Amino acid sequence: PILFNFLADHAAARDAVHSKVSVEMLQQLQVVPLKSAAEDKAVFLRRPDLGRELSAESVQIVQSSFKKGAQVQIVVGDGLSSTAINTNLPSLLPALISALTRENISLGTTAFVENSRVIAGDEIGKLVNAEVVLMLVGERPGLKSAESMGCYALYLKQKSITEANRSM
């Protein structure tokens, strides 16, 4: 039984990395789909730097159609666990938007970035001149934790941005 449990957990972790975020769920939540510069999951896993940048087409979408100057820009990224996004986003995102709206905090256009790392949210926030970026991302799965999602907050109105400025 121990070996079977290990194999099942390992399979769930691999599936979390290689699965896709539900397009239907994103549509229902009114989240705009974008892509990173990593054209597929294989490139994303080999080249983390490309997951930190938006594709040229996605940059154009953000520049031409996203709300500018909001206090908070919400960005969702699959990161290393699409399973985490599929599991958690349908309940978390509406509650988050509701809570921020109740506090009269202006929100940007909510985005999803496929094959993304945390820093991809920074680029969107800068492009739309947001004050804060909230990046919801699927975290690296481990045994028994394929559904782990993180939230990173970054205040963009500072002179220099380092990883030390990012709150989780």
Token digits of residue 10: 């390992």
Token digits of residue 28: 């229902």
* Interval 51-69 mean pLDDT: 97
Is the pTM value of this prediction over 0.95? no
Q: What are the pLDDT digits (tens) for 105-123?
A: 999 999 999 999 999 999 9
Whether residue 93 contacts residue 21, with contact meaning beta carbons closer than 8 Å, is answered with no
CA distance 155 to 122: 9
Residue scoring higher pLDDT (148 or 84): 84
Whether residue 74 contacts residue 85, with contact meaning beta carbons closer than 8 Å, is answered with no
Residue scoring higher pLDDT (146 or 38): 38
Grade residue 147 by pLDDT with cuts at 50, 70 and 90: confident
pLDDT exceeds 80 at position 146: no
